[in-house]
């Protein structure tokens, strides 16, 4: 006989397993790491610099690329054009390819011989081994999260509201900034948070563009390779804590904005 | 004032063809048609939201076909009101004024004036998500009227409202009309047209079937579709005519008012369901002209009294009061005589 309670129990059991799978290694690492080691890593100048670089590069990468990504998402949400499906597929490429391969591909366009590399050279820096290059690598792999979230947000704005704005005298630009953007803002903010979070945790593409200066994921890898698990764990813990704090703060902020 | 000339437009499987409309300043024009007929498309193309394939839109004799939406001075109130949910009532009404860069003081003055006119002054600081349908409708009207458009377009403005709110909004619309506002109102409800319009156009499947002054169209529906749409239940196409009679549906012969028949060839006749007199059928008894015997196919309660469908060769819809129903003791399957006096047989002509 069918008993809904039984199915709920079974599903709850599986849910517990998944949660345990996520939390187990993190809690295990926390319990395994002496507080003094975490403290020592926290006051380590290199670690602090690395965390600052990681957060900064991801933040500016997200900000810079969002300027083009948000209008792009609007076009995808509102307009019908040739090869739209193909273009939608292209957007998701960074998610599905190995990130080290993405790094290699990026290195091709960021190296000194490339057009972009030459342009950076003219401005007095090289993208390879530079925070700007790191930001670019982070943005490359995380941009789809923003574009897709923003596109969903724009699609959810009733088209009649935009028509009404135009009928009330708004130009297309005014309509976009006064109606479409504010109404899709919650999804866009969510996409920005996802892009930022995904960008700062990027390792594969970043290590190929820049081993130095070291982002925190690269530093964790380097400490693990050179000194072993005990030396990598405290930094990993600090970075996880900061990531979670930033993530929770931004989520709270986006929720607050949505209800404002 | 506004003229649509030979408008054609198609997108996907839907098209509208050869639309011609003419409105004078101060007209209350109702575009009447079933859901999905393309009425809203007409409003959107007048407003400039949709681009037409061919034809022209003229406002005050100026060709505005290629004019931008923002330059047309035509205000559209959408069926679902299209209230901006992230702005409060005041900000919604002020939206078009701020676009036009009115000063803060003037914006506030105009918003207050409109809010008082629409009886929503007490709602100015409210979030729009907490408004009722009727309140949203008033906000949408106030917002659209803020820049005093030459023409106000209303897309099914009463569809989402309950009976009481409909009454209130109708009165508001009449007031606006009396103040000289030219209005085009789209609806599927012929009662709205009856209660509000000066002129009507009947629209179906992308075409205007009939248009003109309300009283003319309602008195002379030139097709069965129009007749049924405006609530006429007995509309029979004429199959033959002679000096003194009209044959309808190839079956029934009505004796008619001779002058009307001979002056102009009728294409149909119309009999109001309340204009038919019923009596008990008595076998062998001689009856007057235009008395037809038939069986009651259906009997059901109606808006006032009862409605019967009597098969007299063609289905005839008859309205009777509860008193008559009890007096005649009518039941489904009974045989009755239906008498229609010649004055109550209205002939419909090809041209007015």
| Least confidently predicted of B64-73, B146-155, B239-248, B272-281 | B239-248
Q: What ipTM describes this predicted complex?
A: 0.81
CA angle B348, B349, B352 (to 5 degrees): 110
The helix/strand/coil state of B308 is strand
pLDDT for the residue A161: 96
Average pLDDT score over chain B: 86
A167 contacts on B by Cβ (under 8 Å) = 47, 49, 69, 74-76, 144
Size of interface A-B (CB pairs under 8 A): 53
* pTM, 2 dp: 0.81
pLDDT for the residue B262: 53
B230 vs A1, residue with greater confidence: B230
Q: Do A164 and B74 touch (CB under 8 A)?
A: no
Identify the residue among B64, B82, B111, B148 best suited for mutation to test binding to A, counting A beta carbons within 10 A and taking the highest: B82
When pLDDT is averaged across residues A130-142 and rounded to a whole number, the result is 93
Determine the Cα–Cα distance for residues A148 and A185; give it in Å rounded to an integer.
13
CA-to-CA separations, A219 to A124, A209, A212, A215, A224, in angstroms, rounded:
26, 14, 9, 6, 8
pLDDT for the residue A104: 93
Return the HEC string of A40-61: HHHHCHHHHHHHHHHHHHHHHH
Which residues make beta-bridge pairs with B56? Answer: B5
Nearest neighbour of A163 by CB, restricted to B49, B75, B100: B49
Give the number of other Cβ atoms within 10 Å of residue A155's Cβ.
15
B142 contacts on A by Cβ (under 8 Å) = none
Q: Do A169 and B76 touch (CB under 8 A)?
A: no
Closest Cα to residue B276, out of B266, B288, B290, B286?
A: B290
| Least confidently predicted of A23-32, B123-132, B226-235 | B226-235
A178 contacts on B by Cβ (under 8 Å) = 95
Report the Cα B69 to chain-centroid distance in Å: 27
Identify the residue among B12, B69, B110 best suited for mutation to test binding to A, counting A beta carbons within 10 A and taking the highest: B69
The length of chain A, given as a count of residues: 260
pLDDT for the residue A2: 59
Using the predicted structure, report yes or no on whether residue A114 has a pLDDT greater than 50. Answer: yes
A36 part of contact set with chain B, CB < 8 Å: no
Q: B156 and B82 in contact (C-beta within 8 Å)?
A: no
Q: What confidence tens digit (pLDDT) does each residue in A30-89 have?
A: 998 999 999 999 999 999 999 999 999 999 999 999 999 999 999 999 998 889 999 999
Rg (CA), chain A: 22
Determine the Cα–Cα distance for residues B84 and B95; give it in Å rounded to an integer.
9
Residues 72-91 of chain B with CB under 8 A from chain A are 74-76, 78, 80, 82, 84-86
Using the predicted structure, report yes or no on whether residue A256 has a pLDDT greater than 70. Answer: no
Is the torsion defined by CA of A11, A15, A21, A27 positive or negative?
negative
pLDDT for the residue B238: 84
Return the HEC string of B170-229: HHHHHHHHHCCCEEEEEECCHHHHHHHCCEEEEEECCEEEEEEEHHHHHHCCCCHHHHHH
Nearest neighbour of A179 by CB, restricted to B47, B75, B84: B84
């Amino acid at each position: 006989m069918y008993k809904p309670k039984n199915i709920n129990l079974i599903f709850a059991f599986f849910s517990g397993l998944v949660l345990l799978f996520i939390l187990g290694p993190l809690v295990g690492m926390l319990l395994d790491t002496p507080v003094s080691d975490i403290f020592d890593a926290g006051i380590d100048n290199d670690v602090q610099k690395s965390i600052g670089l990681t957060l900064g590069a991801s933040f500016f990468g997200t900000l810079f690329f969002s300027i083009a990504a948000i209008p792009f998402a609007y076009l995808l949400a509102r307009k019908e054009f040739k090869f739209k499906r193909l273009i939608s597929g292209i957007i998701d490429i960074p998610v599905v390819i190995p990130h080290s391969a993405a790094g290699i591909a990026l290195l091709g366009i960021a190296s000194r011989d490339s057009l972009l590399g030459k342009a950076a050279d003219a401005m007095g820096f090289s993208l390879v081994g530079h925070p700007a290059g790191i930001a670019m690598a982070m943005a490359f792999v995380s941009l789809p999260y923003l574009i897709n979230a923003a596109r969903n947000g724009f699609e959810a704005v009733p088209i009649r509201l935009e028509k009404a704005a135009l009928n009330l005298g708004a130009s297309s630009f005014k309509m976009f900034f006064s109606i479409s953007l504010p109404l899709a803002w919650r999804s866009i903010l969510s996409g920005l948070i996802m892009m930022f979070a995904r960008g700062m945790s990027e390792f594969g593409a970043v290590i190929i563009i820049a081993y130095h200066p070291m982002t925190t994921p690269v530093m964790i890898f380097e400490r693990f390779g050179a000194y072993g698990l005990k030396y990598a764990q405290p930094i990993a813990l600090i970075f996880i804590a900061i990531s979670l704090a930033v993530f929770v703060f931004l989520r709270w902020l986006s929720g607050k904005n949505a209800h404002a | 004032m506004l003229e649509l000339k030979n408008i054609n437009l198609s997108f996907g499987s839907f098209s509208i063809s050869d639309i011609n409309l003419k409105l004078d300043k101060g007209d209350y024009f109702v575009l009447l048609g079933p859901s999905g007929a393309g009425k809203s498309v007409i409003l959107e193309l007048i407003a400039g939201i949709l681009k037409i394939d061919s034809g022209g839109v003229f406002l005050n004799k100026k060709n505005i076909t290629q004019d931008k939406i923002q330059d047309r001075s035509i205000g559209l109130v959408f069926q679902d009101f299209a209230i901006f949910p992230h702005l409060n009532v005041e900000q919604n009404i002020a939206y078009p004024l701020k676009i036009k860069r009115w000063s803060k003081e003037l914006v506030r003055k105009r918003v207050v004036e409109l809010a008082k006119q629409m009886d929503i002054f007490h709602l100015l600081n409210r979030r729009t998500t907490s408004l009722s349908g009727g309140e949203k409708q008033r906000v949408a009207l106030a917002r659209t009227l803020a820049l005093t458009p030459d023409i106000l377009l209303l897309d099914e403005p009463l569809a989402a409202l309950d009976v009481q709110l409909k009454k209130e909004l109708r009165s508001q619309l009449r007031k606006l009309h009396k103040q000289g506002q030219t209005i085009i109102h789209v609806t599927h409800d012929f009662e709205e047209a009856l209660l509000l319009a000066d002129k009507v156009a009947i629209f179906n499947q992308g075409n205007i079937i009939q248009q003109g002054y309300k009283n003319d169209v309602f008195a002379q529906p030139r097709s069965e579709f129009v007749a049924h749409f405006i609530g006429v239940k007995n509309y029979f196409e004429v199959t033959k005519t002679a000096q003194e009679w009209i044959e309808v549906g190839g079956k029934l012969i009505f004796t008619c008012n001779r002058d009307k028949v001979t002056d102009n060839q009728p294409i149909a006749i119309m009999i109001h369901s309340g204009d038919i007199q019923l009596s008990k059928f008595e076998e062998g008894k001689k009856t007057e002209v235009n008395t037809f015997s038939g069986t009651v196919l259906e009997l059901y309660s109606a808006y006032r009294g009862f409605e019967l469908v009597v098969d007299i060769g063609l289905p005839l819809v008859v309205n009777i009061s509860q008193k008559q129903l009890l007096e005649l003791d009518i039941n489904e399957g009974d045989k009755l005589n239906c008498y229609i006096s010649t004055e109550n047989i209205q002939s419909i002509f090809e041209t007015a």
